[in-house]
Each structure stands twice: as C-alpha cells, then as structure tokens.
Amino acid sequence: MTDSEILATVMPSTPRRYAGLAMLALLGGLLVYIALATPPASLAWRFILLALGGLVLWMAELMRRATLHGVVLTRDELRTTNGRVLVRVEDMTGVVRGSFSLKPSNGFSVLTKISQEKAWAPGIWWRFGKRVGVGGVTAASQAKYMSEILAAMLAEKENNHQ
C-alpha cells in the first residue's frame, strides 16, 4: 500500500447497497422457504432448492462484507479502501466507459497489459483476465469522475512516452 495522495474515491451508495442486499436475501430466503414449506415431490429438487437458497444467502453475506469498502485511485494504483491493490497504473492501457461495453453497472472497466489474478468483491469490483471492473452498487457520479481522472492520467502517460 502506498501513501500517495488519493485522487478519487468510489464508495457504495447506501440505498443501492441495501436494495441489492435485500434482493439477494429475499431470493435466498424464498428459495429456502419453498424447499421447506411446500417441498417438491422429488427429494432431489428439495435439495437443489435448499442448496441454491443457501448459495444466494452466502452471496448476500459476501456482498455485505465487500460493500463495507470502496475503491480509491492514487497516482500509483487503483486499490480498495482496506489496501488491496486491484491494478497498478503502470499496468493499465485504457479505460472503457461505453454504455454497451463489458463493465459493471454504474461503473467502468480498466484494460491492462497483462492478465491479472481473478478476484471479485460483489457489488464493488471484479478482476478477470486483462480487465478490472469498478462499479455495481456504487454511485455513478463517483465512478464517472474516477474514470475521467484515470483516462486523463493514461493520456498524459501516453503523451510522455511519445
């Protein structure tokens, strides 16, 4: 973790966070309820409903934990507020912000030079292959500001190398 100045921060939007958590908890609870209160005739289907309900409730807990933190941008790196480095600025090649591009809701994705280790914080960020996505239950205005700062930093870096 570096002590560089924080240029931009993306934090979870409280209403979006609670709405997402409520939907996951409701879906998981409903699946478990159906499996127990009105069980299907087949024992296999009951097990499948219980397993899916448990999986969705587990995902809700993962999202609850992940959305306690945000993402910050410094001159050196993009990292979480608890210090986990998502990608270094020197490894970035571009920022994707288009409406129909592969990116999280209310967010953006960063293209990298090399494949990154796969990781995911539900509702906040993901990292897969040569992409890092930031967004989800975040405030769209904060993500837009961060992506514009990143795009300017990458353009400046490109101009300095020419």
| Residue-level pLDDT at 162 | 64
Q: How confident is the model at residue 2 (pLDDT cuts 50, 70, 90)?
A: very low
Structure confidence at residue 50 (pLDDT): 96
Q: What are phi and psi of 118, to 5 degrees?
A: -70, 135
How many residues are listed for the chain in this entry? Answer: 162
Q: What is the pLDDT of residues 65-81, one digit of tens each?
A: 999 999 999 999 999 99
Distance CA 17, CA 8 (A): 20
Structure confidence by residue, pLDDT tens digits, 125-153: 999 999 999 999 998 899 999 999 999 98
Other CB atoms within 10 A of residue 46 CB: 15
The reported pLDDT for the residue numbered 38 is 87
